[in-house]
Amino acid sequence: MSDRRASEQDEPKDPSEEPPLKTGTDPLELIEQCLSSFPEGDARLKLLYKLRHAVTLSQAAHQQRELEFKKVGEVVAKLTAPANRIGTLLDVPGEGLARIVVGGAEYYANVDPRVPETDLKIGTQILVNDAYTVIKTLGYDRNGPIVKLAEAMPDGRLRCEQEMGRQSLVLQRSTDLIGVDLDPGDEIRIDPSHRVAIEKLVDRKASRHVLDETPKVTWEQIGGQNEAINAIRKAIEYPLLHAETFERFKFSQPKGFLLYGPPGCGKTLIGQAAAGSLAKLVSESKQEQTSDTDKRSPVISGAFLHVKGPEILNMWLGESERMVRDLFEQARARRKDGALPFIFIDEAESILGTRRAMRSFNISNTLVPMFCSEMDGIESLRDVVIILASNRPDLIDPAVLRPGRIDRKIKVSRPNKDAAAEILKVYLTADLPLAPVLVSERGGEQMQAVASLVEDIIESIFRRTEDNRLLSIRLRSGQSKVLYRGDLVSGAILASIVQRAKEKAIDRTVQSGQQSGLQTKDLVDSVSEEFREGDMLPPDDAAEEWLKLLDHHPEQVVGISSFRRGRQTEERSVNQII
C-alpha cells in the first residue's frame, strides 16, 4: 500500500488536471499569485519581487508613451483638418436655421444647438464647418467699405450711393441698426459682402464745422460798430420780439445776411454775436409759449456751423458740391432736432465768386448754382440763418446776393475816433494792472486812469502829423491824397496794440523782478511798432486789388507811395498802377 502511494506521488501530474489561468490577466496579477503560492523563505521570492518592480516600471513607461502618442495624434489631426469658413449671417428664418452668405454664395444652414440664440445677430460674422453648419459667432467685423446713405426706404432697407460710375446698393440693416434714425448723407459702414449695413459713422468733414454750443459772444463785447450792430439786430431780433406786428404787415423774414468790409473790423464777431443773440431770443420765446403745466418741454438751442470758404474747395470733381450739400443737410437735421442752426461762411468770395463763361472748368460755375438751390430750399429765418462775411463783396456772384437769398447787406466800416475808443475799452479793462503814476494822477481812480490812457492812445493814432503818415495816393486829376494811421486802423490792429503793450509790461516785470503795470509809453511804442510792421506795399500789378481790400476805391488812382521811417519828407515812388 505504502509503495503504491509513493509511486503515485512520484508520477508527474497531468497539466490538464490543474485549474486554467485567466486569459488577458495582468502580469502583475500573475506575479502576485506566484508570490502568494510560495512559502515564506523561498529563495524564488526575491526574484519575483525584482520581476514585479521591473514590470511596474515598464507599464508606467508604456502608459506615458501612449499619452504622448495621443497628444501628437491630436496635434497632427488638428493641423491636417480643413479650415472652417467665415461667413455673414443674413437672417434667422427659424429655430436652429440660418441664412448665411459665404464667399459670395448663399446657404440655408443648420445652427449648432450649443450656439446661443442671442448671439445670432444679423450682420455678424459666423464660423461654419465642412457641412456648412454654424458652429460659432464672431461678432461684427470691424472693417469694411464706407458708403453714403441716399435714402432710408419705408421697409427699413437702405439705398446707398457709391463712387462715381458704380451702381447704388440696397442694403438690409444689421440687428443693432434696426430702429436707428438714418438721414440721407450719413456715412454707413457695410460688411465685406456688401449685403448688410453694420454701423453709422460720424462724418468728420461735416462735424468739424459745428460748434457744440452757440457762441457766447455778446453785443457788449463788440465795440465801435453800433451802426452795423443796430442794423443786424433789427433784421433778426425785431421779427421775434414783435411777431404780431410783422404778421399784420405780412412781412417775410430775411433768410441771409452779408457782412462786408475791410479785414479786422469785427465781421466774424458780429456773426457770432448774432447767432448767440438770436438763439437766446428764440429760447426765451419758446419758454414763454410753454404752459406752466409743461415746464419740462425742450428748450430750443443754437447750432453754429462756422465754415471758412477755402475749406470747402477740393481738387476732386464734385467733392466741393457734396460738402455744400452736406452742410445744408446737417443744418436741416439740427433744425429737426429742435436747434436753430446758423451757417456762417467766412471768406465767402473764395467759393461764391462770380461765374465765368469759359471752356475750362471753373469751380464757381458749379458751386454757386448748388449754393443757390440749397438756399431756395430754405423757407425763412425760422429754419436756417445764413451769414456771409467777405472783404471783397464785389467778387461774390450777384445770384447769391440777390433779394430772396441774401436779403441784408451790412457794411462793417473802419472805426472812427469814438468807435476806436470803445474798442480799446473792451481790451483795456479796469482790472488790468496800471502803473502807479497813472493811477495817482487821476486821484487814485482806476477807471479814470484807464479812460485817460485810452484818450492818449486815440490821440496818438488819429493825430494827423508827419509821423502818422502811411500812404500817398496820386489821383488821375493830379491831386494827391495822404492816408494816415487813423484812416487804416481796425479793431484787430487795436487789439494787437494792447497785446503788445501787455507784453512790454510783463517783460519789464520779469526783468526787474518787481511788480509793474501798463504805462502810456508801452501803448505809444506799441502803436509805432504795429504800423511799422504793417507798412508793406503790394506789387505794382496788385496795388489796385490791395486798395479795394483796404476799402479805398481806386478808380481814379494812378500811383501809390509810402512814407518810410527815417525819410519823413521823401516818398518812395512806385510805378503807376494804371
Question: The CATH number of the domain where 124 resides is what?
Answer: 2.40.50.140
Residue 126 CA: distances (Å) to CA of 83, 95, 105, 141, 451: 14, 16, 14, 10, 76
Q: What is the DSSP letter of 17?
A: G
Q: Which residue do the cell numbers 491630436 mark?
A: 74
Whether the pLDDT of residue 494 is over 50: the answer is yes
Are residues 391 and 422 located together in one domain of the fold? Answer: no
| pLDDT for res 578 | 32
Q: What is the pLDDT of residues 182-212, one digit of tens each?
A: 877 788 899 888 889 999 887 655 555 554 4
Percent of the chain with pLDDT over 70: 76
Indicate whether 226 belongs to any domain. yes
pLDDT value at position 142? 87
Report the pLDDT value the prediction gives residue 92, as an integer from 0 to 100.
92
Q: What is the mean pLDDT of the chain?
A: 77
pLDDT value for 443: 58
11, part of any domain: no
Is-contact 492 264, C-beta < 8 A?
Answer: yes
Convert the pLDDT of each residue in 466-479 to its tens digit: 888 877 777 777 77
Tell me which residue of 169, 179, 124, 178 sits closest to 149, measured CA to CA: 169
| Burial class of residue 562, CB neighbours in 10 A (0-12, 13-18, 19+) | middle
pLDDT at residue 360 is higher than 50 = no
| DSSP per position, 339-396 | EEEEEEEESGGGTSBPP---SS--THHHHHHHHHHHHHT--STTT-EEEEEES-GGGB
Look at residue 299 in the predicted model and tell me its pLDDT: 40
339 and 217 housed in the same domain: yes
Of 401, 211, 412, the closest CA to residue 306 belongs to 211
What is the crossing angle of helices 520-533 and 491-512, to 10°?
130
- 450 and 424 in a single domain? The answer is yes
Residue 213 neighbours by CB under 8 Å, 6+ apart: 301, 302, 304
Residues in the chain, total: 578
In a domain, 174, yes or no: yes
Residue 278 lies in a domain: yes
Has residue 291 got a pLDDT over 70?
Answer: no
| 229 and 333 both lie in a single domain | yes
Residue 385's pLDDT is 79
Among candidates 186, 206, 210, 190, which has minimal Cα distance to 198? Answer: 190
Q: How far is Cα 62 from Cα 432, in angstroms, rounded to an integer?
A: 94
Q: What percent of the chain has pLDDT over 90?
A: 8
Of 310, 252, 268, 302, which Cα lies nearest the Cα of 282? Answer: 302
> By C-alpha distance, which of 471, 444, 443, 441 is closest to 456?
441
* Same-domain pairing of 232 and 294: yes
6 inside domain: no
Q: CA-CA distance, 397 to 381, in Å (whole number)?
A: 22
Segment 531-571, tens digit of pLDDT: 887 666 555 555 666 666 666 666 666 777 776 544 444 34
Same domain, 372 and 283: yes
- Kindly give, in sequence order, each residue whose CB lies less than 8 Å from that of residue 101, ignoring residues fewer than 6 positions away: 87, 88, 90, 107, 193, 195
pLDDT attached to residue 420: 87
Looking at the fold, whether 394 and 542 belong to one and the same domain comes out as no
Q: What is the separation of C-alpha 343 from the centre of its chain, rounded to a whole number of angstroms?
A: 16
Reply yes or no on whether the pLDDT at 99 is more than 90: yes
C-alpha distances in angstroms, 88 versus 126, 143, 145, 323?
6, 13, 15, 33
Predicted local distance difference test score (pLDDT) of residue 88:
92
Rounded Cα distance, 495 and 502, in Å? 11
- 118, 153: one domain: no
Residue 234 in domain:
yes
What does DSSP assign to residue 477? T
The secondary structure element, H or E, covering residue 561 is: strand 557-563
Q: pLDDT tens digits for 125-179?
A: 999 988 889 999 999 988 888 888 888 888 889 988 766 556 788 999 999 898 8
- Burial of 93 (C-beta count, 10 Å sphere; 0-12/13-18/19+): exposed
Rounded CA-CA distance 545/207 in Å is 35
Q: Which amino acid type is present at position 553? A: H
Q: How far apart are CA 280 and CA 219, in angstroms?
A: 12
CATH number for the domain spanning 322: value is: 3.40.50.300
Whether the per-residue pLDDT at 527 is higher than 90: the answer is no
CB 240 within 8 A of CB 281: yes
> What total of structural domains would you count in the chain?
5
Among 48-52, 520-524, 560-564, which is the least confidently predicted range?
560-564
Assess whether 109 and 256 both reside in one domain: no
- The confidence score (pLDDT) of residue 125 equals 92
In 3D, which of 396, 378, 349, 399 has the Cα closest to residue 255?
A: 378
Query: What is the pLDDT, as a whole number, of residue 541?
Result: 52
Whose grid coordinates read 458708403?
Answer: 147
Residue-level pLDDT at 564:
56
CA atoms within 13 A on the CB side of 2: 0
Identify the residue whose cell numbers are 459665404: 102
pLDDT at 173: 92
DSSP strands (E only) in 92-191? 97-102, 105-110, 125-128, 134-139, 146-152, 158-161, 169-173, 187-190
pLDDT at 163: 63
pLDDT band, very low/low/confident/very high, at 217 (cuts 50, 70, 90) = confident
Mapped onto helix, strand or coil, the DSSP state of residue 517 is: coil
| Domain stops at, among 160, 182, 201 | 201
Instruction: Band the pLDDT of 101: cuts 50, 70, 90.
Output: very high
Clarify whether residues 487 and 556 are in a common domain. yes
Q: Is the pLDDT of residue 113 over 80?
A: yes
Domain assignment present for 374: yes
Q: Which domain holds residue 342?
A: 210-411
Is pLDDT above 70 for 18?
Answer: no
In the prediction, which pLDDT does 532 show? 80
pLDDT for the residue 288:
59
Q: How high is the pLDDT of residue 97?
A: 92
Of 306, 316, 44, 305, the C-alpha closest to 163 is: 316
The dihedrals phi and psi of 170, each to the nearest 5 degrees, come to: -115, 120
pLDDT of residue 89: 93
pTM of the model: 0.64
C-alpha cell at 284: 426765451
- Note the pLDDT of residue 290: 52
The answer to whether residue 333 is domain-embedded is yes
- Do both 232 and 258 map to the same domain? yes
Which of 14-18, 171-175, 342-346, 482-486 is least confident? 14-18
Cβ atoms 323, 205 nearer than 8 A: yes
Within 13 Å, how many C-alpha atoms sit on residue 521's CB side?
Answer: 6
Query: Could you tell me if 515 and 541 lie in one domain?
Result: yes
